[in-house]
Structure 1
Amino acid sequence: MMYVSIWLMMAVMLSIMMMMMCTMISKTSKKDRENMSPFECGFDPKSSARTPFSIQFFLIAVLFLIFDIEIAIMLPIILTMKINLTKMWIMTILSFIIILILGLYHEWNNGVLEWAK
């Protein structure tokens, strides 16, 4: 028990030291206007470099990722399907697809999929 507490204390101390070193190293030098401004071929930028991000695009991208991961999960299930467990595999895949379709239906009803408003 004593060894565990010693190792735990050493791990905590090492973590604290690493966090302190990272904060000291990450301190940037004097921030002036030229260093903080966006670079556009040496000229002042014509428009803001901080353009707003479309939340609609983000939601569509998240939906794409969800359905992409769905395919990545379902392909190994189909490839490893056993003949004697066919009913269980089919029920698993169907329940998975039904949950995703219900989520898509919910997103559709909330108007997330309408691009132009």
Structure 2
Amino acid sequence: MIMMIMSAIIFSISTIIMILTNFLSKKTIEDREKNSPFECGFDPISSSRLPFSLRFFLIAIIFLIFDVEITLILPMTIIPFNSNIFMWTITSIMFLTILIIGLIHEWNQGSLEWAS
């Protein structure tokens, strides 16, 4: 019974402290920049039909693709100890070959060049 009362008191005190710190830590100075949403460096107040750099978009997509591929490559160093070495070698070579062919294709298409 005493433990329940003590835990209720501690819970109440910690709730009051969290509410007080929330009110005390709020910023009171608000301006146009702080109230506007951040839209990747674009001013959301002005026209929303500004031209968007397609090169920037392609570089971002390529980065995401290679980021996912890195997460698939990193475990390849641990897998040979726990599986069949022949199957691991064939799978790794096929995966890296597809990755290199994709990189060569992007390079030939000019997707990796920022300035054209």
TM-score range, shorter chain: 0.5 to 0.7
**Unaligned ranges ≥5, structure 2:** 1-31, 34-43
Give 1:82 shift.
2.9
CA distance in 2, matches of 1:84, 1:97: 19
CA distance in 2, matches of 1:99, 1:57: 24
In the alignment, which residue of structure 2 is the partner of 1:62? 61
Q: CA RMSD in A?
A: 2.8
TM-score w.r.t. length of structure 2? 0.53
Q: In the comparison of the two structures, how many residue pairs are matched?
A: 76
What do residues 6-42 of structure 1 show as CA deviations (whole Å, max 9, x unaligned)? xxxxxxxxxxxxxxxxxxxxxxxxxxxxxxxxxx57x
**Unaligned ranges ≥5, structure 1:** 1-39
Letter in 1 for 2:103: L
Give 1:61 shift.
1.1
Give 1:75 shift.
2.0
In the alignment, which residue of structure 2 is the partner of 1:93? 92
Name the SS of the counterpart of 1:81 in structure 2.
helix
Q: How is 1:15-26 mapped onto 2 (pairs within 5 angstroms)? A: none
In the alignment, which residue of structure 2 is the partner of 1:103? 102
Measured at CA, do residues 46 and 79 of structure 1 come closer, stay the same or move farther in structure 2, by a change above 3 Å? closer
Residue identity over aligned pairs, in percent, reads 52
TM-score w.r.t. length of structure 1? 0.53
Q: Which consecutive aligned stretches of 4+ in structure 1 deviate over 4 angstroms post-superposition?
A: none
CA distance in 1, matches of 2:111, 2:67: 18
